Structure 1
């Protein structure tokens, strides 16, 4: 295999379980082992590398123009429980591959090149994209109870404050990542040029019924909260399929009370999550769900919005640059949204232009030990990333 594939399998394999999956949680021993492996390679390439106060890895390759803004590459070093090799680590090792190629070809960039390996991108009690949000100054370490959560990871509020960077010096942020869906693999395409990162909107939905004896309450008299919630879930799923072919709807958490076999449920709480690039679509979908709820006689419903992370567009100039690179290299590609969140989100929300390069996930599998991207696609994506960096270095950003 190529240098990049070897590096990815070696570092990305840290935290391997007996079943072949990877568990390398943020701030864990395995996480810091991986961080040190990447840091060692950065330093061998002549980069200044350091671990920041919240456990992110940051490397800098100076440019020839001290006034030029930085080209920033990055992704995360952690995984979910029993995840795969590629999610996150591909972006970090792919960024290292760019530096390897620059050194081999004797190229010196005008712009500084920075690489981030972020901590705790995956969901945790500190919130997803924790490391990159700290760098962007988006974490409120003074929020009630947050200091206690930080302490569980060996951190204090002052660590969060000290991790904030001046992002005005960043000309752009590029993230190389597996798609984590099946669009590219199903279509037989090599590269996805990301147009933006979709909204994530969640509601806590509660169905209110009436508990009663399961044996003595006849069917016409029941106010079964679980039956009512089931009707709403099935109806919402069907409406999502009708409304837009890129709208996704998920109920990933459900609790039933009182939770006894012989008692009719009086309360069911579920999380309704919807994702789409267009806020108008998620707003319409939510209105449709509320209308359905009013037609369900089994129970009454209440809705509480818990998450509203609206879509993050990629920078049009970066999209065009990546698109032109793919065309010039004769690589099949498509412009497409990302259905998952990434460390690029916080960068964009603080005004840094972002771009993303996707490579196919075989069968659309991710966050699972069977996650796989063919070695040829790993190298093709690195070609695109490298050529994009060279193209951007010719501009003023």
Structure 2
């Protein structure tokens, strides 16, 4: 039989994978040998497995996670599933490269300030955005601002100007909200990259100022200051001197299920649905937990307490803080919503169709089984 098979050494040589790697992927049920000698335990591979081994080697080189490699090698021919996994990984790599470039740009600025502390001063940037869009962005993220005195970096709204996009971000570690709006390019070049954390009180003052009905708002940020002028009035103040957490890595989701429904419908179901009290709030405080169930037909319901642990066949469950979920619904808009469910340990994403850059994330809560 061995004459028709590749030994593990031969497959390693011809595929570019090491012998130890082939043993690992056998144990992980990714690339199992065609035959294992019962006397020696030596692994032998069929000729057709060489192509899979070479593909696995290249997937490994580009850093595809084990689950992705398994999905590619197990995809049905012609289904497009393997291409989908690779395309999603490419997007993650491109996003990571963009983040790295941005961080390196900021690193160069910090190095310049360190090497020239007297002559180098941080720049201030000014630009104009529609007042109504800025107000909507603040409304979309305000509910998620943290209030924990032990985490002062989260007690404000991040204004992240990244080229031609202004992103507003807020999180208290249990939920996160993002909103973005385009920024016109400056004359003679693209918009700069700068980020500041605006304290909660100043952000609330800006929102009140935007309610005056003016069409445009002029923002100024940088050098430890933030200001907004609109309708002949101006408000300004100092920003928080902290490094905000890297939110980009947290919002790259690969949802398994998407379901669309009306915001009012979901609110009604949550308000009238069953809950379970669990010690899952800030600092371990008890909170009311809502368990959402998505069945195999894409129907979303609030699950009763006795049914919270196990999903039906083809379905998925996710448990979240009930109050946080209700807070997030107005941020998603008054009409249609899209919920993205990745599973019981993945964040629940709440989006509004047509506003890809504005959405909320709720961290999942583990529901223990009744015993």
Q: After TM superposition, is the score higher than 0.5? A: no
Q: Which has the larger radius of gyration?
A: 2
Q: Which TM-score band (shorter chain)? A: under 0.3
Higher relative contact order (CA 8 A, sep 6+): 1
TM-score, normalised by the number of residues in structure 2: 0.23
